Amino acid sequence: MIRREFMLRTLGAAMSAVFARGSFGQTSSHAGMQGMDDMGSMPGMASMPSMHHGAGSAHQTGGAHAMTGSAPLASADALPAGAPLAMLRTLPNESREPGVFRATLVAQPVSRTLLPGHPTTFWQYDGGDGGAGGAEAGPVVGPMIEVREGDTVEIRFVNRLAQPSTIHWHGLPVPPDQDGNPADAVAPGGSRVYRFTLPPGSAGTYWYHPHPHQLSAEQVFRGLAGPIIVRAPDDPLAGWPERHLFFTDLKLAADGAIAPNYMMDWMNGREGQFVLVNGARRPRIAMAGDERWRVWNACNARYLLLTLGDDHPFAQVGTDGGLLAAPREGLTRLLLAPGERAELIVRAKGGGASDGASATPAVLTAALYDRRKMSMTMSHGDASLPPSPAMPLADVEFAPAAAGAAPRVLPARLREIAAPAAPVASKTVVFSEQMDMATMHQPGAGMHGMPAGMHDLPAGMRFLVNGASFDPARITLTSRRGDVERWSIDNQSDMDHPFHLHGTQFQVVERVKGGVVTPEPFRAWRDTVNVEPGEIVRISVQQQTAGERMFHCHILEHEDLGMMGTLKVV
């Protein structure tokens, strides 16, 4: 169903639900009301009563309440800002054996106070000590796992949540039965040990997060995510000072509770009113020299078009799977889709500063990016919501260079990345949308803090791969181990979708849009790539281990609603 037809029908369904229930209270002017607020500009809609539902409840009923997320949210400036950027905690290695990293990760509810006077219950990963000393890193960032190529990793996962969960090692080349796939969930109160060895060439910037079927979105937006760095023995940038920025998204009610998902959150993917950097709002970064930044987009659905302003260009030196073949100099913007990571070189001197002088301060900002979020209106003939406004993420101050200090030289070549070999097989992955309007009319078919059940997804929403919603018992595609394949990721939906493939890294070969073929201008290893509406992204990929792998949209709400498939490697 095309979006325009869907929106028109959905509007009718919403109005039927509104007037059938007829009970409304106060409303919020925040992001959760965006879809319904748009209706006020339509003829006859200006006098429609507003709606309310408590944010702290675990479940909501259907109709307009579910569409809007109308509980009052904390104001966008409610969280304190301006503290120095927090250092990420590091997960301690319990092993004394060379080349072995052994640790414990516990997923559990933890109370933290971000909103003054209102404690918030997050779900957080902590070490086996229960997280003592973790408060300085903020409540929504798991401890950083720092390992090296060749290490054998052994992590015991303890699930102290009331839901089944897993740990997915996002981007790492681990065996399928160690990758926390939906079929391998750990029951509440249970535990398991993940074991894998990191092969040569796997150095890069990764992360870990839950991957239980239909529960991933909630578990991540409640705080379960953490960074991983795999280091190489021959890293050409090993001597550069390194800074880590882990971006997460937080939707917080005025009473300090984490707001549940509503219809617009499920439809577009959840975006909160806060983007946190290492667990805090708009921290302050003080740079005394050139630095290597590793940045993670660990948000459920928010795209980050990163910029320091036109006067502060930077270089990109890495992607998901490690260093590029060569630096990309002179960038002023870089888009990170949900799940993507990057490595940047940020210079302390720039913006016209003279020798020995500091650059002018800058604001690290998520600039305006239109990912074509769905709207509930037909205003102006366009069914998309306006893009989220630009958001300041951190304030950056640059100190003058030390007298006589030589600038760091960025190597012209960073690593060897061979061109993709000729493919021996081809595959197509099609992203599309579908809505079951009969289900949307049913009483009680509204949006919950998590999907309504394994076989009754909320409000009839379906986000599809190759025309089908995810079925754990169905194999979507089959590949042969070691074969180089050319995959075409075809986005036939109306909004951007980031494609993510488990178990390996791939190279983007080209993009096709409007009949125009554009070769990828640089060589890099990735596990996540954004695909615009009407665009086909072609990748070269090779799986090395037999077993079942997942591939899906990394807008986690869309993944939970069925935009996922299973690849069987034989």
pLDDT tens over the chain, length 570 residues: 445 444 434 443 443 333 333 322 333 333 333 433 333 333 233 322 233 333 333 333 334 444 555 579 999 999 999 999 999 999 999 999 999 999 999 999 999 999 999 999 999 999 976 544 344 344 579 999 999 999 999 999 999 999 999 999 999 999 999 999 998 999 999 999 999 999 999 999 999 999 999 999 999 999 999 999 999 999 999 999 999 999 999 999 999 999 999 888 998 999 999 999 999 999 999 998 999 999 999 999 999 999 999 999 999 999 999 999 999 999 999 999 999 999 999 998 754 344 445 578 999 999 999 999 987 653 444 567 888 899 999 999 988 766 667 778 999 999 999 999 999 999 999 999 876 655 654 655 554 544 544 444 555 678 999 999 999 999 999 999 999 999 999 999 999 999 999 999 999 999 999 999 999 999 999 999 999 999 999 999 999 999 999 999 999 999 999 999 999 999
Distance CA 322, CA 202 (A): 7
What strand order describes the sheet that includes 242-250?
280-281, 274-277, 242-250, 291-297, 341-346, 314-319, 322-331
Q: What pLDDT is stored for residue 253 in this prediction? A: 97
Contacts of 407 (CB under 8 A, 6+ apart): 290, 347, 349, 401
- Cα first-last separation, the chain: 35
- Give the pairing of strands 291-297 and 242-250: parallel
C-alpha 338, offset from chain centre: 3
Distance CA 503, CA 495 (A): 26
In degrees, to the nearest 5, what angle opens at C-alpha 319 toward C-alphas 317 and 481? 135
Collapse the DSSP code of 53 into the 3-class scheme (helix H, G, I; strand E, B; otherwise coil) and give the result: coil
Task: Report whether 245 contacts 278 (CB < 8 A).
Answer: yes
Kindly list the distances between the CA atom of residue 161 and the CA atoms of 94, 175, 188, 190, 294, in Å, as whole numbers in the listed order.
24, 25, 6, 10, 30
Q: What pLDDT is stored for residue 377 in this prediction? A: 53
- 175-152-224-137 Cα dihedral, nearest 10 degrees: -160
Mean pLDDT of the chain: 84
**Topology of 425-569 in CATH?**
Immunoglobulin-like (2.60.40)
Which CATH number does 1-413 carry? 2.60.40.420
Distance CA 18, CA 24 (A): 9
Collapse the DSSP code of 146 into the 3-class scheme (helix H, G, I; strand E, B; otherwise coil) and give the result: strand
Nearest in space to 355 (alpha carbons), one of 409, 310, 406: 406
What strand order describes the sheet that includes 304-307?
284-287, 391-398, 362-367, 304-307, 334-336
Q: Which residue has the tokens 């913007």?
A: 333
What strand order describes the sheet that includes 547-553?
477-479, 564-569, 547-553, 497-501, 528-531
Distance CA 71, CA 50 (A): 11
Pair of tokens at residue 562: 């069925």
Distance CA 515, CA 518 (A): 10
Distance CA 320, CA 179 (A): 17
Q: What pLDDT is stored for residue 358 in this prediction? A: 58
Domains 1-413 and 425-569 in one fold: yes
Q: Is the pTM of this model over 0.85?
A: yes
Taken in order 198, 202, 206, 211, is the CA torsion positive or negative? negative
What strand order describes the sheet that includes 226-231?
145-148, 226-231, 204-209, 168-170
- 528-529-534-535 Cα dihedral, nearest 10 degrees: -130
Burial of residue 361 (CB within 10 Å: 0-12, 13-18, 19+) is middle
Kindly list the distances between the CA atom of residue 37 and the CA atoms of 27, 542, 563, in Å, as whole numbers in the listed order.
10, 47, 28
Per-domain residue ranges of the chain: 1-413, 425-569
Task: Report whether 261 contacts 270 (CB < 8 A).
Answer: yes
Q: Which residue has the tokens 């986000």?
A: 463
Nearest in space to 122 (alpha carbons), one of 103, 132, 135, 104: 135
Taken in order 377, 380, 385, 390, is the CA torsion positive or negative? negative
